[in-house]
Structure formats: C-alpha cells, structure tokens
Amino acid sequence: MSLPIVFIDGDQGTTGLQIHARLRDRTDVQLLTLPAAERKDAARRADALNACDIAILCLPDAAAREAVGFIRNPAVRVIDASSAHRTQPDWVYGFPEMADGHARHIAHAKRVTNPGCYPTGAIGLLRPLLQAGLLPRDYPVSIHAVSGYSGGGRAAVDAFESGDAAANALPLQVYGLALEHKHVPEIRQHAGLAHRPFFVPAYGAYRQGIVLTIPIELRLLPAGVTGERLHACLAHHYADAHYVDVMPLADARAATHLDPQALNGTNDLRLGVFVNEDRGQVLLSAVFDNLGKGASGAAVQNLDLMLGARRAA
C-alpha cells in the first residue's frame, strides 16, 4: 500500500518550514517537494497540487485562493494555513477540540481551514463558556494578546533578527490600532459572539509564544455564575483533550506571572482562570506556541486526523 502524498505549497515560509520539519522524518507520509527554481512556477505548483493526496497551503491569502483554484483532481484534500477561508461555510474549521465530534468532521473533510494563532486562544476560552450559557453571547469581550515576532511571518523574523533591526527593536509593539484586525471576524464567528470583540494584539521582542488574556466582570454574567463555575466548564470541556489542558485553580491562585514561551516547541494549549471573587473579576488566559498550536502544530494535528494517524485530538 502506497504512502499518502503530502505537498506543502509555500514550504519556505515560517509556517511551511515548521510543518516540513515536523513531517520530514515520519515514515507514514511521503513529502512531495519542488526544486527551488520551480517553487513559484504556477504550472509546476499546479502539477504538484493535483498529484498529492493532501495539500497544505502556507501562503498569503490571495495565493492560497489561487492555489485552491489550481486543483482539478477531486481526490485532493486541502489544509489551508492562511486566513483566506476561515469564515467560509464550505470549509471545516480546523480546531478539533472546540466542540464534541468536531474532530470527526475534520477527519472526513475535503477542505480544512487552519485556525489563526490568536483565534486559537480566544475561541478555546470563549466558545465552551458561550455554549454552556455561562457567558452571554452579547458580552462585551476584550482580548489582549502578545505574540513573539515570528507571528508576523518570514519578513518579521528577518527584520527582528537582522543586526540593526534587532538592536533597535522595541520591547513591545502594540498594533492593529485601526481595530480592523483580520482575526476579529474569525473569533466572532467560531466563538459564537453576537458582536465584534475588542482585540488588542502586540508583538514582543522574543521569537515565539503567545499569552492571551480576556478580562471578565462577573456582574455582567447570569446570576450565580462564579469564577469556579467558569473553570469547571472549561475543565469539563477539555477533560479528554490530548493537546489542551486547563490549569487547576490551586495552581492559578499560586501563579505570579504567565510565560508566553512556556509551551514553545509543542502543540499544547494551556488555559487558565484567575479569580478574584471579592472584586467580582476573572481573568481568562491562554498560553501556547504561535508556531505550534497556533500554526504548524495545528496543521499537522489536522493532517493526522485526515489520515487517521497517531493521536490527533
């Protein structure tokens, strides 16, 4: 029996390189690669896209849409790591843990859209609470997140790591000041929010890792909802998830800080609930690798589901 053929279109970008590194030594897939001189040749890319079993697109949005248009072979399945299709109804959203049975939808899908890095943390925190009715759909959600500069892609990595740029890099760069970040519609749709969340992203002067936080006012929640109930909801939802864990409340009470780099190199997502019942306030947190669960790790997890291989949910 022949091995499934995987083609990474855009394997020289930040995400593509990471996916290639995760797959190159595996014996259960065959990687189809193009010579360097042919990587931007549309005809050669089209040939590869139609010759593989699963194509993983690690491209800018417009190029990802173009790549999908190249595919004529009805047997080819696609994982798109760009944001081009994340709110499209005919694509399956590639966050296996977000709902019961969702991993099965991914496993049988023809078209899977990989989640964005920030949405992974935001949706991971919000969706279970909204589904359980503990957080109202019209809650005025504010999301604050800091990512390593690799979240900006290959150009950002080159800029931060070149000599002059590295010497002059700001320790923190808040961006998205026009309040039109492309991840906002994705978060709203897949979390199940009635309104656009307020989203404040930033890059830190370190390579990778995300810490994302969402403040919650208990007085705005349904009567009887406490920080402990929010924690219990998340802990129950992710009880059987291999790659998502919820920090015990005792650990959260003892914590003094959150390290965005704590899970670098993994596909793990760690959620936290920090409670001050006296003040009626809760802080939800997510820590994960923007290049892991936020990008390449999630793509490989979805690939494994589609192949029926390894532990993938």
3-state class of 75 per DSSP?
coil
Q: Which residues does the annotation mark as catalytic? A: 117
Name the residue among 9, 129, 116 with its Cα closest to residue 70.
9
- State the DSSP code for 129: H
Helices 117-131, 227-237: inter-axial angle, 10-degree rounding: 110
Query: What burial class does residue 87 get, using C-beta atoms within 10 Å of its C-beta: 0-12 exposed, 13-18 middle, 19+ buried?
Result: middle
Instruction: Please give the structure tokens belonging to residue 174.
Output: 């808040």
Q: What are phi and psi of 288, to 5 degrees?
A: -170, 165
Half-sphere exposure of residue 11: CA atoms within 13 angstroms, side-chain side:
22
Cα–Cα distance, 124 to 143 (Å, whole number): 12
Name the residue among 99, 171, 93, 130 with its Cα closest to residue 284.
130
Radius of gyration of the chain (CA): 20
Cα–Cα distance, 262 to 289 (Å, whole number): 8
Q: Which residue has the tokens 């919000």?
A: 126
3-state class of 144 per DSSP?
strand
CB neighbours of residue 229 within 10 Å: 17
End-to-end Cα separation, the chain, in angstroms: 26
